[in-house]
Amino acid sequence: MKILSIGNSFSVDAHAYLHKLAEQRGVDITTVNLAIGGCSLQIHWDNVVNNNAKYGHCINGEFWGERDVTIEEIIKSEHFDIVTVQQVSHFSGMYETYQPYLNNLIEYVRKYQKDAKLYFHGTWAYEIDSTHSEFYLYENDQEKMYNAICKTVKRVCSEIGATLIPSGEVIQNLRQRVKEFDYKNGGESLCCDGFHMSHTYGRYAVAMTWLTTLTGKRAEPLPFMDLDLNLIEQICQIVNEICLK
């Protein structure tokens, strides 16, 4: 399975452990991520139109090469089984920021990857005390941001015929249901800086969400890095509930 993501730093979070988790389970996955930090759908489309070489080229969770690339260069280079797209995090709950850029981007993807399955990455809300400069768009309210994202991405997926990768839903459920991740009451934050995923359980949970959604296989709680196996088990349980329902 070859996966191409057109994304930003949140797709970097998602891809960080995806290949390793798949490999651990005997699943053959190659991940390719075209990422620009803070990149919106509007900027992605502008980069297509102008063939801008601004993308970091990340293969199997690690950046590759010494130069930036264009979307065209990569999307024409080989066949991909799956293509994922996403909105920049701070606009993810604002439907009016998606079009016409998303439809244009999907049409472009279909031109070169006619048979690829299309997925949309539904990202997560910021941490409750996030200092992200655009958190004010949701009145600095995590729950308000989460609900706006859920509503918007479900509408978008229905319109473009994409399957949702529910990373944001998994992260919010972990925050609300696992006491170790209840940051409001002294638990560990799943973010490392208030908006990107932590390099431990945050990235693990998102990668497991992707793996389960893309393969349809149950998330099995196997040891990974030095993460607590009890927490891995709880993450896998919630991932299975949400992704396989």
Q: What are the strands of the beta sheet with 62-63, ordered from one edge? A: 62-63, 56-59, 30-35, 2-7, 82-85, 117-121, 163-165
- Tell me the pairing of strands 30-35 and 2-7: parallel
Tokens standing for 141?
């309210």
Give CA–CA dist 8/35, Å, rounded.
4
Q: In the chain, count H helices and then E strands.
A: 9, 7
- Return the residue matching tokens 């590759």: 64
Question: Is pLDDT of 167 > 80?
Answer: yes
What integer pLDDT is reported at residue 69 of this predicted model? Answer: 96
Is the bond into 223 cis (omega within 30 degrees of 0)? no
The model's pTM: 0.97
Question: CB under 8 Å to 218, separation ≥6 — which residues?
Answer: 212, 236, 240, 244
- Return the residue matching tokens 């919630």: 238
CA angle 123-191-194, nearest 5°?
Answer: 90
What pLDDT digit, counting tens, does each position of 47-71 carry?
Answer: 999 999 999 999 999 987 778 999 9
Question: CB under 8 Å to 193, separation ≥6 — which residues?
Answer: none
What integer pLDDT is reported at residue 133 of this predicted model? Answer: 97
Residue 205 host element (H or E): helix 201-215
What integer pLDDT is reported at residue 63 of this predicted model? Answer: 84
Dihedral of CA atoms 79, 24, 56, 72 in degrees, nearest 10, equals: 10
Mean pLDDT of the chain: 97
CA angle 205-94-54, nearest 5°?
Answer: 70
Give CA–CA dist 28/26, Å, rounded.
6
What domains are there in the chain, each with its CATH number?
2-243 (3.40.50.1110)
Report the DSSP beta bridge partners of residue 74: none
Question: Is pLDDT of 151 > 90?
Answer: yes
